[in-house]
């Protein structure tokens, strides 16, 4: 693990009566240190209570002979859903290492908490999801290994906290919209440098809040699913249904407010662009207009063998009989035998290349 950075770690204790807990008790018989690194290296080190006090490390081969529960094969499961696709979320006491992955997760389709596929089992750390169709396979393997499965109870307090956060996010995004709405009217010559970054920062904040809102709404739905599996609890289920309905309305309002703020960002960019364009040289000059107008004609006559080119004053066409024609703001024609023009006159000289005779 040279050069690795530990990204997650914890220490748990096994009490015969309480199971795996975070605090050491006088009855604790096992200790487990779990580590996960930046390169997805996972290590679960087991210890036994020493007779002299303290803890002795258990060699890996000896640890493999312990019961599943003593090795941390203890899991809490709860239902999840993504667009009508049912999943089971599994929280593991032991971090997901190569031993756990090969013994219990082999062939299963692992997903993260956002229900996106996991590239490697070790990336799960201690929480992963599997399609509900594969749950029975996992449960059977855990039982065969001497582990334990428990169903997570719905956390109504967490549900209410997520609901409150949704309400706060709605108010925050609304406030961002009000601030940017007033800015749109104030963008002027002196306001460009100061107002534009403010709108950009608020746009980023609104986007982050929108993503948070989606996560809180999903958490509320997940807790409702967990509650549905509990028998009875009619009052709690009714409250949860009302909470989900109101949470969906908050989330919908947040989406609309985010879209509104996006429109302010576009308006600000357009107004600033218009102002900046006023300070730039105009591309719509008479010379450029003439060039755009004559380019098709130059292409046409050049393809037919005429000596024709665009100059600053317009288009010069030289005929084989010596006639020179200038089309532009001041059209000119010089017939064969006419006096030579002054130096620098656009009608002076002939093309170096002789063309075949053509008729206009």
Give CA–CA dist 247/60, Å, rounded: 48
Q: What is the pLDDT of residues 176-211, one digit of tens each?
A: 888 887 777 666 545 455 566 677 788 888 889 998
181: number of CA atoms within 13 Å, CB side? 11
pTM of model > 0.85: no
Sign of CA dihedral 59, 60, 61, 62: positive
How is the chain split into domains, by residue range?
A: 6-63, 74-151, 156-278, 286-334
* E strand intervals along the chain: 6-15, 19-21, 30-37, 42-49, 55-57, 74-82, 85-92, 127-131, 148-151, 307-311, 314-318, 324-328, 332-334
- Whether residue 39 is predicted with pLDDT greater than 70 in this model: the reply is yes
Closest CA to 128 of 116, 141, 140: 116
pLDDT value at position 291? 78
Averaged pLDDT for residues 308-314: 84
Averaged pLDDT for residues 16-31: 93
pLDDT value at position 340? 60
pLDDT value at position 91? 94
Count CB neighbours of 141 within 10 A: 17
Task: For residue 108, name the pLDDT band (cuts at 50, 70, 90).
Answer: very high
pLDDT value at position 156? 87
pLDDT value at position 345? 58
Closest CA to 351 of 322, 315, 312: 322
pLDDT value at position 229? 74
pLDDT value at position 299? 86
Q: How far apart are the first and last CA of the chain?
A: 84
């Amino acid at each position: 693990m040279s050069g690795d950075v530990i990204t997650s770690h914890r220490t748990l204790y096994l009490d015969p009566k309480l199971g795996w807990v975070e605090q050491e008790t006088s009855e604790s018989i096992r200790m487990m240190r779990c580590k996960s690194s930046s390169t997805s290296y996972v290590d679960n080190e087991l210890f036994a209570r020493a007779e002299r006090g303290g803890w002795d490390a258990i060699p890996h081969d000896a640890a493999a002979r312990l019961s599943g529960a003593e090795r941390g094969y203890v899991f809490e499961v709860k239902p999840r859903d993504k667009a009508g696709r049912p999943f089971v979320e599994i929280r593991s006491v032991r971090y997901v290492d190569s031993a756990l992955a090969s013994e219990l997760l082999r062939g299963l389709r692992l997903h993260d908490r956002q229900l996106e596929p996991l590239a490697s089992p070790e990336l799960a750390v201690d929480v992963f999801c599997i399609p509900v169709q594969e749950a029975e396979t996992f449960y059977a393997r855990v039982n065969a290994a001497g582990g334990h499965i428990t169903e997570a109870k719905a956390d109504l307090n967490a549900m209410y906290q997520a609901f409150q956060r949704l309400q706060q996010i709605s108010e925050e995004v609304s406030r961002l919209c009000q601030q940017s709405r007033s800015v749109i009217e104030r963008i002027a010559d002196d306001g460009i440098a100061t107002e534009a970054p403010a709108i950009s920062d608020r746009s980023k904040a609104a986007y982050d809040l929108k993503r948070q809102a989606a996560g809180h709404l999903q958490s509320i739905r997940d807790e409702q699913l967990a509650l549905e599996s509990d028998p009875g609890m009619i009052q709690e289920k009714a409250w949860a249904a009302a909470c989900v309905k109101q949470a969906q309305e908050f989330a919908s309002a947040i989406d609309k407010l985010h879209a509104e703020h996006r429109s302010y960002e576009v308006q600000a960019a357009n107004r600033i662009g218009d102002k900046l364009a006023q300070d730039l040289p105009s591309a719509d000059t008479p010379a450029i207009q003439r060039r755009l107008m004559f380019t098709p004609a130059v292409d046409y006559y050049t393809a037919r063998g005429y000596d024709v080119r665009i100059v600053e004053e317009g288009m010069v066409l030289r005929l084989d009989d010596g006639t020179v024609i200038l089309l532009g703001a001041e059209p000119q024609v010089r017939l064969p035998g006419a006096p030579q023009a002054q130096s620098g006159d656009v009608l002076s000289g002939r093309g170096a290349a002789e063309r075949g005779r053509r008729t206009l």
